[in-house]
Amino acid sequence: MSKYLHKIGGELWFKEEMEEGIGHSARVDKVLFDDEIDHQHLVVFENAKYGRMFALNGIIQMTSSDEFVYHEMLTHVPLYAHGEAKRVLIIGGGDGGILREVLRHKSVQSATLVEIEKDVIEFARQWFPETSNGAFDDPRTNIVITDGAKYVEETDERFDVVIVDSTDPVGPGEVLFTEEFYAGCKRVLNTGGILTVQGGLPFLQPWEPKMIKERQEKSFANVEFYVAAVPTYTGGLMTLGFASDAQYPHDETWLARRTSANPLEMGYYTPEVHAAAFALPAYIRKGLE
Ligand code: SAM
């Protein structure tokens, strides 16, 4: 049994190990996997309330009950803002949730998923088939198993939207938060292209969005942040980065027109939520100054 699982009063519990000394705990009703995979330690387990959950190196990555929040907001904000994205690049995202949401847009002709850990894709197929929902096998999908930073540095492909669904800036994910990586994302974006990134938990890690902003501003004219409330992400809100050289209005009337042209059944995203997500709480705005 790994160090992330603990016997407490006859029950088995998962305890998230964040360096801030806090984190989510969840009773483990059934262990499905608890072992090392190539670069990271993977725990997959079931919890009565949150459904099936998985953690990499002790940090919760996703739960079947609320993954729609994060995957909808990281995907539909750039895709509805752009409006006619044909080629999308996903860095990380080995669980397939972002890929599933990207492929729902009829404008998308190709989605390239660059994941460092082939085992994450394999285990996602096995334990979270509803998350990818067949997206890995969609004819528009190209899966590349390599480091995302290396990919954006070397590829000749060009994209309309780049979505970075990475782990936190530790271990293999650290390189996905560097100035060089953001310059690589800029290099592979077509004119008017948009980069969105997973930007951490601002209440617990206020340094993260600020670090991302300072590094992305070296390559992008406009670097903005928006928020989503993901129940299982400790600290309440999570920040997501939105960078482009173009200026996109986060206006709900404009977005309502966009979404009505390509209406999708959603659990969290609406044009109003999209627009409101960029109205940052004062503590997050201050943290970015
Ligand atoms: N939703 C999660 C979150 O917010 O933390 C992220 C989920 S997704 C599983 C994160 C993925 O990023 C993992 O599958 C991990 O293997 C992948 N990853 C980490 N570093 C990477 C790198 N340098 N290149 C490509 N993929 C990477």
pLDDT of residue 172: 86
pLDDT of residue 123: 85
Phi/psi at 51 (nearest 5 deg)? 75, -140
Residue 228 β-bridge partners: 238
Q: How many angstroms is it from 117 CA to the middle of ligand 1? A: 8
Of 160, 165, 245, 251, catalytic: 165
Kindly state the tokens that stand for 209.
Answer: 């969005």
Q: Say whether 29 is catalytic.
A: no
Site to substitute for ligand 1 among 114, 163, 167, most atoms within 8 A of C-beta? 167
Half-sphere exposure of 29 (CA within 13 A, CB side): 8
The amino acid present at 166, given as its one-letter code, is S
Kindly state the tokens that stand for 250.
Answer: 């986060």
> pLDDT tens digits, the chain, 289 residues: what are they?
899 999 999 999 999 887 778 888 999 999 999 998 877 899 999 999 999 999 988 988 889 999 999 999 999 999 999 999 999 999 999 999 999 999 999 999 999 999 998 988 998 999 899 999 999 999 999 999 999 999 999 999 999 999 999 988 888 899 999 999 999 999 999 999 999 999 989 998 889 999 999 999 999 999 999 999 998 887 789 999 999 999 999 999 999 999 998 899 999 999 999 999 999 999 999 999 9
What ipTM, to 2 d.p.? 0.94
CA proximity to 29, closest of 45, 15, 42, 40: 45
* Contacts by residues 100-106 (CB-CB < 8 Å, ≥ 24 positions apart): 100/71, 100/131, 100/132, 100/133, 100/134, 100/135, 101/71, 101/72, 101/75, 101/76, 102/75, 102/135, 102/163, 103/135, 103/138, 103/140, 103/141, 104/264, 105/79, 105/262, 105/264, 106/262
Cβ of 92 closer than 6 Å to ligand 1, yes or no, is yes
pLDDT of residue 50: 93
Q: How many angstroms is it from 200 CA to the middle of ligand 1? A: 13
